[in-house]
Chains A and B, each alone.
Chain A
Amino acid sequence: MIKQLLTGLALSAGTLAAVSPAFADYPERNVEGVIQWGAGGATDNVARSLTPHVEEALGTSIVLNNRPGGTGVIGMNTVMQKPANGYTVLYGAENPQLYPIMGLADFDYSAMTPINVIGQGLVVIAAPADKDWQNFGDLLDYAHEHPGELRMGGTGAGGLPSTVLAMVNSVDSLDVRNVTFGGDGPGITAMLGGHIDFMPLSLAAAQQHIASGRLKGLAVLTKASIEELPDTPPITDALPQIESYLPWGPFWAVAVRKDTPEEIVATLSDAYRKGVAHEDFQRFLAENGGKALNLQGEEAEQFLERWQSVTAWALQKAGSAKVSPEEVGIPKP
């Protein structure tokens, strides 16, 4: 019995010794991809559409697992607890960049090494089609005359609608009732029933409803109008001062643990660059209201830093940040 046990130990120790210096052979087994949002959501869809093309370039399978909960804190924490050997990658959205100022966690993407910033989602401010407003300016005028009366659909503190509201409020005043829903879907459902008056949404979620004529787009969060919604004016038409925040939108990124060996980061970055560039995935992003970015290395880090600084300070200016960005070392834009 003891002999067997010892042989087993010796064997496993032998395998360990054989595996550790073999980074050059990466990847020699399946990679686990942890998605920080649930099945069927935008981040999940992006991850599942992208991964087959990355697998092709990487030459191994990537097994995807959803670890939702706590605005994505749980999924990110899972990856940060795993060994830094490149066999666990995080598929994340923009949320980690707001964890420090929302007091959710003391880490953000700077605690990891970004492999790829995949793309950015476009944002549209939508309202039920039967409203009299033609654009965001009309809505602002109405809100100025009737402060605190309009019902805005939100997704909770740090969510996309509350961030957009904070940006608007840092250059103008938009006093609304913030009604919180579990996500874009439940918010749109409430808007279709006339239970809320407007909601900032990802283009992916709103596009079909605007096309069907049940909702209308009041503004897109860009400097110029976009191909997908040619009739919806850019938000700068109504609020020119907001331009300094633009282009702004939720994004998706892939990251690994900070102390992952450089060669492995290089292999992964290369595979993800090819995956994101694949024409099928590019088409998927375009059809789902996203703009491909495909940023690696320093470029990715710069993007993440700029996004964090712009968003965190807008939230701070509107009084929505729980911890001042200054306190957690986020520089002013």
Chain B
Amino acid sequence: MSAHRLKLFPKNGIRKCLTGIDGLDQISEGGLPEGRATLVCGPAGCGKTVLAMEFLVRGATEFNEPGVFIAFEETGEELSQNAASMGIDLPGLCARKKLAVDHVRVDRSEIAECGDYDLAGLFVRLEAAIKAIGAKRVVLDTVSSLFSGLANVNILRAELRRLFSWLKSKGITAVITAEKGEGKLTREGIEEYVADCVILLDHRVENQTSIRLLRVIKYRGSVHGTNEYPFLIGSNGLSVLPLSSLRLDHKAPTQRIPTGVPRLDTMLGGKGFYRGSSILVSGGAGTGKSSLAAHFVKAACQRGERALYMSSERSTDEVMRNMRSIGIDLEPFVKRGLLHLCALRPGTFSLETHLLTVHNLIKTFNPKVMVVDPITNFVSLGTHAEVGSMVTRLIDMIKSRQITGMFTSFTSADSLPDFSEVGVSSQMDTWLLLRNLESNAERNRGLYVLKSRGMAHSNQIRTFVLTDTGIRLLDVYVGPSGLLTGSARMTQEAKEQAEATEREQRLKHKGSELKQKRQQLEARIASMRSEYEFEEKSLLTDVHEMEMRGKQIALGRVEMSRARKADRIRGNGRGPA
């Protein structure tokens, strides 16, 4: 992880020291100034100690930089207990010489001041601790306690200044915490001499939910995010959001993954969604958004991929029961650890807390696909801008991990979808729209691909049917009066069937008619032929007779001439034998 981040933030200019804290390294473009002191200020209970502690612990465990924690407020045991609540084994780290904790108690009630003094005691103890473990990082939490314990402010200021330059000379990266003052960053004006980097933490309550905010006020010699970033303290420590929104440099995988509904894959260029893309499924009540999501999740689990399903309005049991009714049994996947179902109630926490929950789930479960069903339930938790920014950060988070995310969105009206209310549609790669199509006194479901970036996709509306074996997409019938669905479609189909049968019969009929005609004609041809033959015969007979008659005439003539003793006639006049 660290190597990856180092590459992301090349060290030009001043050297930086990675904190390992989610988000803070991104905002500060690579961490705190190395070998210098950073002031973390804010009111009581804003998370200064947690930030400081995490800086040390992560330094010790992730970057092999041991650290010294000088605690002015809490004893070693108290710190250990607090750290344990974040899953940090402080005594263990101390035993392995990764960390040293020294509780410096300054109790004004037992201290009397008499004459000139310095803070050599603190220096000596700090130096001893640094030497003992070879510390690279130091935390002083909080120096404000010194001011409440000791009266001579002039000495304190001079000594702190000396302390910071001493730490700098040792090349130690220090985090110094201080209480926020009235109209000033710190009550004691410490920011005046710890000036390399100042981080302000704040804690506010808006809409009855509390929000923690972090802002880098100043960072000498470095670019940094200047906004107020929400941050959270969870069981995994501190997370600053946005987690990686400063840069848009996600990889864009070209691998495609099935949607879980084969005919939907066909609609999406035949291959389904891109891996790592975000899909928005929007539609009104009962249009089958969750069912589509369940298919998607099931397909992922069948491929052996981990899937995270977050339901924001139904319990996990309800989700399983409902999906069983359309023939999707998610339970085996849950048992095999492939599917993690979790129910989030939007109202319980602030948006940021939810985002953190999701973030931590993703981090620990490491899913390949995830579903938030529906994402619109979070709208009530903040202004549109806030929800939009939450979704942005969520998409950012999952994209950077190449997780394919499906978000369902409830649109109240079936009119043309206007998702600008959450303002995220533009961030989605694929937008599937489910619609109720009302006609002929019935309601049917329709599905179409409103957009799908980077792939050819069908522009047709498909009829979407929920059966007890899952979703089926049926062919569209586009009749003269538009798209036909449901029973109208069936009527149309029956009508077509009848027409087809009729056509076939007519064809058959025409066929036999033709045959008959042919037979008739052939019969006529035959009779005509016999007539002809008859006529021919009689004509031939006539011809013969006439020939015979001619011969006889000739013969008669010969006989006559012979009888008349006439001259021999030319030709074949022969006398009788």
Do A and B come together as binding partners?
A: no
Binding site for A on B (CB under 8 A): none
Binding site for B on A (CB under 8 A): none
